[in-house]
Structures are given as C-alpha cells and as structure tokens.
C-alpha cells in the first residue's frame, strides 16, 4: 500500500512501480515462495498500481508440489502474506523515525510469505471455481 510504513520503515510512494511495470510487465515479475528464487510457484497475470498500492492477480501452477501445498494453505486461510522483492532506484529519507520513501523501485518478484513486512499486504481472495481446475487462481491480491 502507498504511504504506509512497513516493519523496515520503508514507505512506497504512488508511482514508484510505474517505470518497472512498463519495462517488465506482469509476465516478467516472478511469483515465488518466501523470496526464494529456487521456489517459483506460479505466475502473475496482472500487476498494476491502483489508488491504494500494487494490485496483482495470478495463479499457482498445478503439479508443482510447493504450489499445490500453497493452494491448500491459502484455501484454508492458513497463509495469506505477500511481499515484494525489488531494487531501490530512487529514495529519500526524512521525517519521523527516519522513514525511507521509495519513489522508484525496480520490481523483480512478489512472494507468498508467512510474515509480510507490511501487515496489510495480504491475499484478499482466492477463487475455488472452474479456474482452480487449472491451478489455484489468486484473484485479488494487494501488496
């Protein structure tokens, strides 16, 4: 979410993702488990900024053991955290608690995690309809 400090006292500013998303698009931003590059679990179909922050929609890949486990955990609301992996391009510091404002970031991946740095970065809904037959469709995720 924009303008909300995370546990590391980083604040993502509106527009911070714009250049990276224009360059990469959703297809080149990886869906990982716990930021582990050896644990790809799905793909993001939609990655965009909205009025609140980063909105993503994606699906887990069926037949991948970790993705199958995540599908069950998400469906039972046992796991719902999200976290972004990025390189800082432009930032500034200041204000209370020495907040780091991220004005531009190069987004590489978005992970399903146990403990997100931003408490409100959660999976909002998981489809369990026909789309689930081709993989758990995570249809409304805000990071």
pLDDT per residue as tens digits for the range 77-127: 999 999 999 999 999 997 667 899 999 999 999 999 999 999 999 998 765
Give the pTM.
0.86
DSSP category for residue 61 = P
Q: Which of 7, 39, 83, 104 is catalytic?
A: 83
Give the H/E segment covering residue 19.
helix 18-24
Range of the domain at 46: 10-142
Q: Catalytic site residue 111? A: no
Q: Is the pLDDT of residue 132 over 90?
A: no
Q: Which of 35, 49, 57, 103 is catalytic?
A: 35
Instruction: Give φ, ψ of 26 to 5 degrees.
Output: -60, -35
Classify residue 1: in a domain, yes or no.
Answer: no
Q: How many domains does the chain have?
A: 1
Give the pLDDT of residue 94.
Answer: 79
Classify residue 109: in a domain, yes or no.
Answer: yes
Radius of gyration of the chain (CA): 15
| Strand 10-12 to 30-33 pairing | unpaired
Q: Catalytic site residue 83? A: yes
Quickly tell me which residue has 């469906």 as its tokens.
Answer: 75
Cα gap 103→68, rounded to integer Å: 36
Classify residue 4: in a domain, yes or no.
Answer: no
Classify residue 53: in a domain, yes or no.
Answer: yes
Classify residue 99: in a domain, yes or no.
Answer: yes
Residue of 135 and 32 predicted with greater confidence: 32
- Please answer whether residues 58 and 44 qualify as being in contact, where contact means their C-beta atoms are separated by less than 8 angstroms: yes
- Tell me the per-residue pLDDT of 21-61, one tens digit each, with 9 for 90 and over: 999 999 999 999 999 999 999 999 999 999 999 999 999 99
Q: Is the pLDDT of residue 131 over 70?
A: no
Q: Catalytic site residue 35? A: yes
Which residue, 71, 77, 51, is CA-closest to 59? 71
Cα gap 51→65, rounded to integer Å: 35
Residue of 19 and 141 predicted with greater confidence: 19
């Amino acid at each position: 979410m924009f303008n909300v400090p995370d546990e590391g006292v980083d604040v993502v500013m509106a527009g911070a993702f714009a250049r990276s998303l224009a360059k990469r698009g959703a297809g080149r931003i990886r869906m990982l488990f716990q930021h582990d590059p050896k644990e790809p679990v799905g793909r993001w179909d939609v990655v965009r900024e909205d009025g609140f922050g980063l909105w993503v929609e994606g699906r887990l890949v069926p037949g991948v053991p970790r993705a199958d486990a995540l599908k069950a955990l998400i469906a039972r609301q046992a796991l719902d955290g999200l976290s972004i992996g990025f390189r800082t391009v432009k930032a500034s510091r200041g204000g209370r608690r020495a907040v780091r404002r991220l004005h531009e970031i190069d987004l590489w991946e978005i992970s399903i995690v146990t403990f997100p740095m931003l408490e409100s970065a959660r999976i909002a809904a998981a489809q369990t309809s026909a789309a689930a037959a081709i993989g758990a469709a995570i249809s409304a995720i805000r990071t």
